[in-house]
Amino acid sequence: MKHIYLNLKRFDTPVELGGVNRLAPVAEWGRAVVTGTQEALRKYDPEKVEFVQYLPEAHLLSAVAARTPGSPVKLGSQGVYRMDTSVGGNFGAFTTNRTANIVKAMGCESTLIGHCEERNDKKGVLQEAGVTDTAAVNRILNQEVLRAQAAGLTVLYCIGETSEEQPEWEKVLGEQLDIGLQGADKSRVVIGYEPVWSIGPGKTPAGREYIQKIARFVKDRCGCDVVYGGGLKADNAAMLASIPEIDGGLIALTRFTGEIGFYPEEYLEIIGLYLGE
């Protein structure tokens, strides 16, 4: 199966506040994302491709409410907490944190764990505490993966190496997989590969051969489907589609110049280019 993921980060922030939201007023933003995409996605065979959209938590309820019967759009959270509620146990004292149980109860089917931005945040907190153990972030992420699966969510688990880590990419990615997925049901995990060293303005994007090499390594290591998390875009859709080991991609912004932002019609165009339709 192919997997097309959409991660809209904080793209709900209005332009006048420094964001890139030109789609809809904040209160209607989650609904606009779903209504602007779900009907056009019905033409694809749900047995061959899935569409999961990860939204900031504030917009999940309106997005869930916007789905029509048989909608091809699945929704997910942009993370879950490493602990959760339990009957007869903790009843919900997790101020500021979203748990997997509440995300599932809100109508989500999936969650995003280990995105490079989440990894950087956890690494920074640990460094402030004087922790230099590089495996600590992966252990925390493993707790999140297990909580997500216990709640019945599927997981998009992101891995990737920085420019400093690239000479030892096999060791770095291997630890992220081995520790992060320890004890997990890998049949309900898809790996999102983020070549952190190549993402951002002025950086050289990862090439076809490098992406294929990593995808083969990941599949040999854990057996999971692999999607490209460095950004599925109009200008790399055909290249990524030509890599047999790649099972999809992660879309974020659809326009990177001019009126930067996410536009549903451009999202649908990228999907069409990748799927060859």
Q: Which amino acid is at 160?
A: G
- Checking DSSP bridges between strand 110-113 and strand 73-77, what pairing results, if any? parallel
What CA–CA distance (Å, rounded) separates 252 from 117? 13
Active site residue: 118, 144, 161, 194, which one? 194
Q: Distance of alpha carbon 19 from its chain centroid, rounded?
A: 20
Active site residue: 50, 115, 118, 144, which one? 115
Tokens at 146, concatenated = 């297990």
Which residue carries 């090499």 as its tokens?
213
Q: DSSP state, 115?
A: -
Tokens at 217, concatenated = 């390594």
Contact between residue 183 and residue 207 where contact means Cβ atoms under 8 Å apart: no
* Cβ-based burial of 181 (10 A; exposed 0-12, middle 13-18, buried ≥19): buried
Tokens at 272, concatenated = 């069409």
Q: Which residues of 236-256 are buried (b: 16+ CB within 10 A; e: fewer)?
A: bbeebbebeebbbbbbbbbee
Q: DSSP state, 97?
A: -
- 3-state secondary structure (DSSP) of residue 181: coil
Q: Which helix (H) or strand (E) holds 271?
A: helix 264-275
What CA–CA distance (Å, rounded) separates 232 from 205? 12
Contact between residue 12 and residue 56 where contact means Cβ atoms under 8 Å apart: yes
Does residue 194 have an active-site annotation?
A: yes
Q: Catalytic amino acids? A: 115, 194
